[in-house]
Amino acid sequence: MSTIKVYFLGTGTSQGIPVIGSNHSVCLSKDAKDKRLRVSVWIHSEDFSIVIDCGPDFRQQMLTSNCNYIDALLFTHEHADHTAGLDDIRPFYFKQGPIPVYAHKRVLENLEKRFDYIFINENKYPGAPSVTQIEVKENEGFKVNNQWIEPINASHGNLQVFGYQIEGFVYLTDVKTVAIDEINKIKNCKVLVINCLREEPHHSHFNLEEALDFISLVQPNRTYLTHISHLFGFHEEIQKKLPKNVFVAYDNLEILI
């Protein structure tokens, strides 16, 4: 099996960092690791190319990462910071044809409402992209090319979200609670990516304490924190607070699984 690479396309929370018009010291930071686009990840090997979520920074992320083919676009949930870039799949559609989109039924229905011109088949505007919809169900793995992918069910406040497990790699974002059965599916994974907004509590996201508790339950070899708010502080300062084998992800970081 060929090596799986994970490229962090974006590691910021919904507004990104810097926040527009903000004078917060983190937003003014000169450290490239303090610039965070909206959260997304590209998982690729010689055999497949998978992007999770498609937020408002998608176009810029595809250009920077050199991702030029997408076998599957997986969605975690429907929030705008994870979906608003969907129109920019157009160059991929022109090259590849309809782009396979994997998501919970609720998320597919939401996207269909918001991007009706992409999902309709009749009287389509020439130049509009098309997708193929594939419903992801709880406890039902699926294959992209020959790669097995397992959805991980979690809660984002009141909203259901999916994370995804691919070999030893687990990507879970916008999570506040995870049931024990789902935790058991990812125990002792090689690499865990988990959302960690800031130190202060939040109604629908892990804060640092909750993320660290979750990590000690899962016991991954390595963990990367993502979906970071400017209120969490400077990249370098956050990193100093973390235990061994827990890292703050940053945009354009690429790791091997």
Binding site for Zn ion (CB under 5 A): 79, 81, 174
Nearest partner of 10 among 254, 250, 194, 257, judged by Cα: 250
Residue among 65 and 195 whose Cβ is closer to Zn ion: 195
Q: Minimum Å distance from CB 176 to Zn ion?
A: 10
Q: Do residues 248 and 225 touch, judged by C-beta distance below 8 A?
A: yes
Tokens describing residue 237: 């300062």
- Pick between residue 4 and residue 248 the one whose CB is nearest to Zn ion: 248
- The Cα 237–Cα 122 span in angstroms is 53
Q: Identify which of residues 97 and 157 has a Cβ nearer to Zn ion in the complex.
A: 157
Closest to Zn ion by CB, 84 or 149: 84
User: Least Å distance between CB 171 and Zn ion?
Assistant: 13
Residue nearest to Zn ion (CB): 79
Q: How far is the CB of 53 from Zn ion (least distance, A)?
A: 8
Residue 44 or residue 79: which is nearer to Zn ion going by CB? 79
| Gap between the Cα atoms of 75 and 158, Å rounded | 17
Q: Chain centroid to CA 133: how far?
A: 19
CB of 173 to Zn ion, least distance (A): 6
CA angle 149, 153, 157 (to 5 degrees): 145
Q: 134: helix, coil or strand?
A: strand
Nearest to 153 by CA among 165, 144, 143, 135: 165
Beta carbons of 45 and 72 less than 8 angstroms apart? no
Q: State the Cα–Cα distance between residues 88 and 123, nearest whole angstrom.
A: 20
Q: How far is the CB of 38 from Zn ion (least distance, A)?
A: 7
Closest among 251, 249, 234 to 25, alpha carbons compared: 234
Q: Which two tokens stand for residue 78?
A: 């429907």
Q: Given the complex with Zn ion, which of 81 and 88 has the nearer CB atom?
A: 81
CB 35 within 8 A of CB 251: yes
| Comparison of 174 and 182: residue with beta carbon closer to Zn ion | 174
Minimal distance, residue 229 CB to Zn ion, in Å: 11
CB of 79 to Zn ion, least distance (A): 3
